Structure 1
Amino acid sequence: MPDRKFRAREIRRQAAEVAFERKHPEHISNGEEFKYRIINEEKNCKGEVTRKNNKPSHIANFTKGLPHDVNTGSLVSSDDYQQFVAGIDSGDVRDFKDTPLGPPGQDGERCPNWESQLAQSNKVSVRAWESQGAGLTFDLEGPDAQSITMPPAPKLDSAELITEMIENYSMALLRDCPFARFGESQTVERAIRLLNDSPWIKCPDTLSLSDAEKKRLRGPFCTQNVFRGITTGDDVGPYISQFLLIGNQPLGNGPDPSTDGFIRYGSVRIDQRVRTAKENLDFMTTWEAWVDVQNGADVRGLETYVDVNDPLAYRFLATPRDLATYVHYDALYEAYLNACLLMLEMRVPFDPGLPFRLPDHIDKQQGFAQFGGPHILSLVTEVATRALKAVRFQKFNVHRRLRPEAVGGLVHRFKDESRDNKGLEVIETLVKALDGELLAEVVKHNELQNQNPDRSCDPSANMRSYLLAMAFPEGSPMHPSYGAGHATVAGACVTILKAFFDHSWELRDTNGNPYAYEASPDGSCLQSAIQTLKPHEALTVEGELNKLASNISIGRNWAGVHYFTDYIESIRLGEEIALGILEEQKLTYGENFSMTVPLFDGGTVRI
């Protein structure tokens, strides 16, 4: 026993050394935080300029929750932003208590005076920021939250952001188009054309790009790859991963487990169908609603769903709105835990390098507490908190990138002659790229939305807006955009699954035929999508797990709360976290084994 005590300490020391030897990188933002300034001249009674105020506007940064002027949408004071950053840097709860939250002059009030009908009629309170100190905490396993990083986010005047906002505005217009009918949609066709004509896609060679930006290049687009991820398998077969649709075999006899949509949790089961949100209903399409949300109005939970007695009150993931609903309320590791349960019941082979893979009469033991179901199921959830801590540091302490809804506010201010657009020259190129048929459709869409009775307190108010319509009343969460929490968790959890399971295994039916399912256009059932596969093409574990990570990550883009770069850079961050945890845990097992993990960017790592 004394010997065991010292050996246990030595293993922990070795794991600590593995973690210590990882180089802590330099964290670099895109440099926009203090770049854009507002110059106000003060004059005396003779009209002479006596002083010029030159303060940063922070229009490229996350300012949600801080006091914003209800007329201009601008920060009331850059000093408020500095107090916000001071609290982030110190991690001291007292600094955050000193940070003003809510509309101007109403800090500390539970129910401030709101501008929009939705916030007023529901008498909502203010909404606090989320876990801004998580990136300062320490951990006992895996890479330290500050030992991995993300490259600078795209700037407001970049060609990449133009492509991202064409994408986001187009996605907002497509929330109720069934995935199965993307090939018939004129809106999808227009989005493909506009994206392919953007400089980022059409002529990247003319741009001066960093290595990180070159890794994010994509396209050209077609119906099969638009609005999808860029990892292996993303453009193969149906849009939605099989792991978000299919069921598995229940206890005893039951219906075809592939199409009934029920996943067995021990002796109980859960349904893959999601609650059906009311179609053609978006939010934050009036200036009043937009500025209330920027001032921290807590309008969460005020979305509307199909009547619970409707036969389609719950349905398979048929539309982008369904996917947005899924990622609105999911427990962050939920989809990957489900995927693990599905693969275990389907008897997907484990990685060839793992032990206990031979028949019982040869191995004389089975995997369980190590290299079996409980081991994998617990580890796929265990990495989630580490992912959240690492991405919180990037969000709050490094990049502080504004959300897409805030870019929509800048576009509206630039286009709306009744709003102050001082200091918005930097987005002129963006607005010109969006202008024309896309923004015309945005205006038309928002005008229809603004006929809803919850939209304005003033019947004479201008209902014309260029705002990015949101799937959720509250818009984005109360933390910066880059990186994405959902995507970082996706990258970490999927990497664990690819490490344990044979990633090249093909999904086939009991007769050995390739299969692929997608939701029917109304979401009432699953239908064959074999026609989406090319000859000799099949869905693999790696491809469908990558697609699962992309679905969940880009599902947040469908809601309007993230950009494409938030997805791609965050799954890479999550991948690093998972690999680091696997490297350290390898030291704790006595068996001689290896794992071969396919990476999101191609190639493999062998642990």
Structure 2
Amino acid sequence: MKEKQFTRTKVNQGKKKNIHVKCKNPCEIGPLTVQERRKKAYHVRQKAAYSQKNRPHADHPCNGDESLFSNKIGNYSKGLPHNHLGEVNLKAYKALIHSLRTGKPGDFESIPLGGVVKFSNPQAAYAFDLVGPDSHHLGIMAPPPFSSSWEASEMAELYWQALTRDVPFTDYNTNPLTVMAASDLSTFSKFKGPKVNQVVTTDTLFRGNTPGDLIGPYISQFLWKDIPFGATTIVQRYRTTVANDDHMTSYEEWLNIQNGLPPAAKNTFDSTPRYIRNSRDLSGWVHKDFTYQGFLAACLILLSFGGAALDRANPYLLSRTQDGFITFGAPHILDLVAKAARTALEAAWFQKFLIHRRLRPEEFGGRVHNHLTGAASYPINTELLSSQAISQVVNKFGTYLLPMAYPEGCPTHPAYPAGHACIAGAAATVLKAFFNESFVIPNPVIVSSDGLSLLPYPESSLTIGGELNKLAANIALGRNAAGVHWRSDGSEGLKLGETVAIGILKDYKATFNENFNGFSLTKFNGTTIKIK
């Protein structure tokens, strides 16, 4: 096709100028020529890359357990071969470290396994992304050391969460176990869960620390309300396991799982689907959810509220002739929720495998059991050893192991930070950027104690911002309720995911044509920021 010359009017600083352009398609219109558009697209990407390249260097502190303990009792080793104490074969552990140090795909194939269970995608720790901060450029604090009072408090909380899985959230104020749990956790010198006047109460028990976590029911509205799903509606009643369906409480079962053998038992499921009413239901939900499922549901619920629920900075709220769609509409928001979720997992996997390699709670439970039975001697903090949680667990199960909600126990990757929490932090941050955090959620509900119905909840005004924070905490702490993560895995994972999402939103800010002044949102620490 022969190129034709046509005239294009270009506006520069308020002045119009006719220019002659050669183009194969004279039907194309717009403010930029093909060449100008290509150049601008390049500079948008270049500027984003340059900005990320010049981020301040993040420190990557660790808790020192790996160098402190020559037998690696403070580090993750599930899936590798272990001795009768559940201590890892050091040759196998060194092979894992060697592969992580070199990053060579072939080295990972040489890691000795103790059974048939494989490691979960350690090479994701090296992946690059094209939007947002690089995973290696982000830092988080070091997790609690093995022997610390902080670690002791987190383990005690996990024992109590296991013991109270079947207590309905609505009964926390009256159930003897939850009353005892709140009292016991209040005695720990370094417990970092929410408190009232420096005391853990049944109203703060097992909750998160972000704005909105302590307001209203334990479960976020976004895990209860019906989900508008295209031409149908999803009612959030889920399959859950029956009461007392706990696993890995025998030593033989525990050791087999640490060596990477498949579980001998399976979950026993309730024949009746239920709304989430207790920690067992919640731990079951986060057992089978896909990456950003909870925040896909939240986004669809939020979109059903209409324009009043959108952030006030949305450029189309005041437009007389246009609505948002591909930009600042449903496809835009849904896309960024999914994008932020995966990028947050990359950041988590870097920290998990290449920095911390923190042991899982089930591994720590084995250390407690062997210490208290006299099979070994470990430097476990005395605050944990004197906790009422310890006596309650051994009286009920006959061992000091941590009762697990999942037959297979934790996934085959290190604990810190929690992948679910990183996803939750990133996805919640994206939704807070696009929606009006102060918007009051209409017709709030609370679950019945049997999980079969939802009842009106008239006691307080639940906002989008608060319920998104609560949703993030539910998903993070729901993994703790199953026994597979620590509190700090969740709290620090939320912050890491938040940082990932802010970086992504910043990069995308330069891609819009609309008059848009930037995203505003409230961070998990309560501060308000604007992303320009």
Verify same fold: TM over 0.5.
yes
What is the distance in 1 between the residues matched to 2:228 and 2:66? 49
Aligned to 2:85: 72
Aligned to 2:162: 172
Gaps in structure 1 of 5+ consecutive residues:
37-55, 104-125, 202-212, 248-262, 308-312, 447-463, 510-515
SS at match of 2:173: helix
What is the distance in 1 between the residues matched to 2:99 and 2:68? 22
Alignment partner of 1:31 out of 64, 80, 94 = 64
What is the distance in 1 between the residues matched to 2:41 and 2:284? 46
SS at match of 1:315: coil
Gaps in structure 2 of 5+ consecutive residues:
1-33
1:340 CA displacement: 0.5
SS at match of 1:197: coil
What is the distance in 2 between the residues matched to 1:301 and 1:541? 41
Aligned pairs for 1:130-149 (under 5 A) are 130-149=120-139
Structure 2 CA distance for partners of 1:216 and 1:131, relative to 1, 3 Å: farther
What is the distance in 1 between the residues matched to 2:59 and 2:495? 17
SS at match of 2:529: strand
Q: Is the counterpart of residue 443 in structure 1 residue 394 in structure 2? A: yes
Aligned to 1:58: 72
1:96 CA displacement: 1.6
Q: Is the counterpart of residue 86 in structure 1 residue 98 in structure 2? A: yes
- Is the contact between residue 153 and residue 383 of structure 2 (CA under 8 Å) also seen in structure 1? no
Alignment partner of 1:482 out of 403, 410, 416 = 416
Q: Is the counterpart of residue 416 in structure 1 residue 373 in structure 2? A: yes
Structure 2 CA distance for partners of 1:150 and 1:500, relative to 1, 3 Å: same
Q: Is the counterpart of residue 341 in structure 1 residue 314 in structure 2? A: no
1:387 CA displacement: 0.4
- Is the contact between residue 149 and residue 381 of structure 2 (CA under 8 Å) also seen in structure 1? no
RMSD (CA atoms) = 1.9
Output the amino acid matched with 1:391: A
Aligned to 1:353: 313
Aligned to 2:147: 157
Output the amino acid matched with 2:473: S
Output the amino acid matched with 1:281: D
1:214 CA displacement: 12
What is the distance in 2 between the residues matched to 1:218 and 1:429? 25
- Is the contact between residue 384 and residue 492 of structure 1 (CA under 8 Å) also seen in structure 2? yes
Output the amino acid matched with 1:29: C
What is the distance in 1 between the residues matched to 2:456 and 2:173? 16
Output the amino acid matched with 1:441: Q
- Is the contact between residue 411 and residue 431 of structure 1 (CA under 8 Å) also seen in structure 2? no
- Is the contact between residue 195 and residue 204 of structure 2 (CA under 8 Å) also seen in structure 1? no
Q: TM-score, normalised by structure 1?
A: 0.79
How many residues are matched?
496
1:314 CA displacement: 0.7
SS at match of 2:67: coil
Aligned pairs for 1:392-431 (under 5 A) are 392-417=349-374, 419=375, 421-422=376-377, 424=378, 426-431=379-384
SS at match of 2:359: coil
SS at match of 2:489: helix
1:215 CA displacement: 12
- Is the contact between residue 126 and residue 350 of structure 2 (CA under 8 Å) also seen in structure 1? yes
What is the distance in 2 between the residues matched to 1:232 and 1:441? 33
Aligned pairs for 1:12-411 (under 5 A) are 12-36=45-69, 56-69=70-83, 71-75=84-88, 77-102=89-114, 126-201=116-191, 219-247=198-226, 263-299=227-263, 302-307=266-271, 313-347=272-306, 348-358=308-318, 363-411=320-368
What is the distance in 2 between the residues matched to 1:574 and 1:438? 32
Alignment partner of 2:494 out of 571, 582, 585 = 571
- Is the contact between residue 280 and residue 405 of structure 2 (CA under 8 Å) also seen in structure 1? yes
1:216 CA displacement: 12
1:26 CA displacement: 2.3
SS at match of 1:491: helix
What is the distance in 2 between the residues matched to 1:305 and 1:396? 34
What is the distance in 2 between the residues matched to 1:127 and 1:597? 42
Output the amino acid matched with 1:343: L
What is the distance in 2 between the residues matched to 1:395 and 1:135? 8
What is the distance in 1 between the residues matched to 2:198 and 2:277? 25
Output the amino acid matched with 1:322: D
What is the distance in 2 between the residues matched to 1:438 and 1:597? 39
1:502 CA displacement: 0.5
Output the amino acid matched with 1:569: E
1:165 CA displacement: 1.1
1:217 CA displacement: 12
- Is the contact between residue 156 and residue 384 of structure 2 (CA under 8 Å) also seen in structure 1? no
What is the distance in 2 between the residues matched to 1:144 and 1:432? 41
Aligned to 2:462: 539
1:147 CA displacement: 0.7
What is the distance in 1 between the residues matched to 2:265 and 2:523? 37
What is the distance in 1 between the residues matched to 2:130 and 2:214? 38
- Is the contact between residue 303 and residue 473 of structure 1 (CA under 8 Å) also seen in structure 2? yes
What is the distance in 1 between the residues matched to 2:419 and 2:497? 9
1:526 CA displacement: 0.5
SS at match of 1:606: strand
What is the distance in 2 between the residues matched to 1:595 and 1:131? 34
Aligned to 2:446: 518
SS at match of 1:184: coil
1:29-64 C-alpha deviation (Å, 9 max, x unpaired): 11110212xxxxxxxxxxxxxxxxxxx110000011
1:320 CA displacement: 0.6
What is the distance in 1 between the residues matched to 2:167 and 2:41? 56
Q: TM-score, normalised by structure 2?
A: 0.90
1:520-553 C-alpha deviation (Å, 9 max, x unpaired): 11111001333xx4xxx41110000000000000
1:57-78 C-alpha deviation (Å, 9 max, x unpaired): 1000001111111x22222x32
